[in-house]
Amino acid sequence: MSTNLIKIDERAHGFLDFGVAKAESVTESRRRSFEQFLSDGRNAGMDYLARNVDKRFDPSLLVPGARSVLCFLAPYGQASGGVAGFAQGADYHKVIKDRLFAVMQELKAQYPGFEGRPFVDSAPVLERFWAVKAGLGFIGQNNFFISPQHGLRTLIGVIVCNIPAERFPPHAPLAVTDCGACGACLKACPSGALRAPFDLDARKCISYLTIESDDPPQTSLDERRGWRFGCEECMRACPWDLPLAPLPEFETHRTELAAMTDEDWAGLSEAEFDERFADSGLRRAGYGKLTGR
């Protein structure tokens, strides 16, 4: 099958950039570092990371017939009200997936036989690895994916598809290929979770503890520097924290979150929480953790 030259107006779909990587097994070094991360227990309670490991390393086990991985960058804004920037609106999983489905419709019309599956941080896919391989950026010492043009406030959406593909026109070569190793993220981490370059221990990470962990955080809001959902200390310290115009869906709760006081959170009933934040990623943490009940 000959290579298809993929031409997409990614901006029309709300994405800042896109790139294409060949769907093949991930590199041995990436595999080893992930396995080490798991064997050290640094994934904390995120047991799902240890499941389907082979699929994580080989997209053709996830999507039979996979030939290419298309990667898209979606911009989000700054934190407010102690809530991470990516959670200031609707759940990003759904927002990005909806937009990837629209991209796939366009690709199906252009490329006969095109089939694909979209993934957004919800299946065993190494999104950051693919975004790097697609030529969109690099990984910073704070473990964030960084685009030299757009910085680190992007979420990665991926389409694994069945056609051999290249981007058209080809992506411009990266002007910069590493973060610069200034060390500011390591100094800024309040909990010691980021214990060395690229070395994150999720068991101590405020972001993990306030979002993913099944147990409520054992620290006070003050000890967490006011972080109720997420933590951006290692992002904010980074010179690659560039301001971006977020997708509008990522902003729909910003005003109310910014206005909410500790008393408002403490007085929020579960029914009210469910109603007000029905479409929000805050539900990942749940009512109890957010309100301290």
User: For ligand SF4, which stretch binds (CB under 6 A), given 25-33, 127-135, 229-237, 270-278?
Assistant: 229-237
Nearer to ligand SF4, 191 or 213 (CB): 191
Structure tokens at 74: 């979606």
For the bound state, the minimum distance from the C-beta of residue 242 to ligand SF4, rounded and expressed in Å, comes to 11
The residue among 73, 64, 250, 230 whose CA lies nearest residue 148 is 73
- Look at strands 145-146 and 138-139 and give their pairing: antiparallel
Instruction: Give me the least distance between CB of 83 and ligand SF4, in Å please.
Output: 13
Per-residue contact string for residues 235-254; x = within reach of ligand SF4 by CB under 6 A: --xxxx--------------
CA distance 48 to 277: 25
Q: Are 122 and 93 in contact (CB under 8 A)?
A: yes
Contact status, residue 70 vs residue 165, Cβ threshold 8 Å: yes
- Using the contact rule CB under 6 A, the part of the chain among 37-45, 60-68, 214-222, 226-234 near ligand SF4 is 226-234
Candidates 48-56, 63-71, 123-131, 140-148 — which segment interacts with ligand SF4 by CB under 6 A? 140-148
Contacts of 109 (CB under 8 A, 6+ apart): none
What are the CA-CA distances from residue 185 to residues 139, 199, 259 (Å)? 13, 12, 28
Number of residues forming the site for ligand SF4 (CB under 6 A) = 26
Binding piece for ligand SF4, criterion CB under 6 A, among 56-64, 93-101, 115-123, 181-189: 181-189
Output the smallest distance, CB 241 to ligand SF4, in A: 8
205, 247, 257, 285: residue in contact with ligand SF4 (rule CB under 6 A): 205
Q: Is residue 10 a contact residue for ligand SF4 (CB under 6 A)?
A: no
Say if CB 73 and CB 154 are below 8 A apart.
yes
Compare residues 168 and 198 and give the one whose CB is closer to ligand SF4: 198
Q: Does 184 bind ligand SF4 (CB under 6 A)?
A: yes
Would residue 264 show up in a list of annotated catalytic residues for this protein? Answer: no
Of 134, 105, 114, 102, the C-alpha closest to 65 is 114
Structure tokens at 103: 């991209």
By CB under 6 A, residue 200 contacts ligand SF4? yes
**Which one of 73, 74, 158, 185 is in contact with ligand SF4 (CB under 6 A)?**
185
- Given the complex with ligand SF4, which of 156 and 231 has the nearer CB atom? 231
Instruction: Give the number of other Cβ atoms within 10 Å of residue 251's Cβ.
Output: 16
CA distance 208 to 214: 10
Let me know: does 101 contact 176? Beta carbons within 8 Å.
no
User: From the candidates 98, 121, 199, 279, which is the catalytic residue?
Assistant: 121
Residue 80 · residue 257 · CB < 8 Å: yes
Which residues from 73-132 bind ligand SF4, rule CB under 6 A? none
Instruction: Write out the residues near ligand SF4 by the rule CB under 6 A.
Output: 140-142, 179-185, 188-189, 191, 193-194, 200, 205-207, 231, 233-234, 237-240
Q: Which residues are catalytic?
A: 121
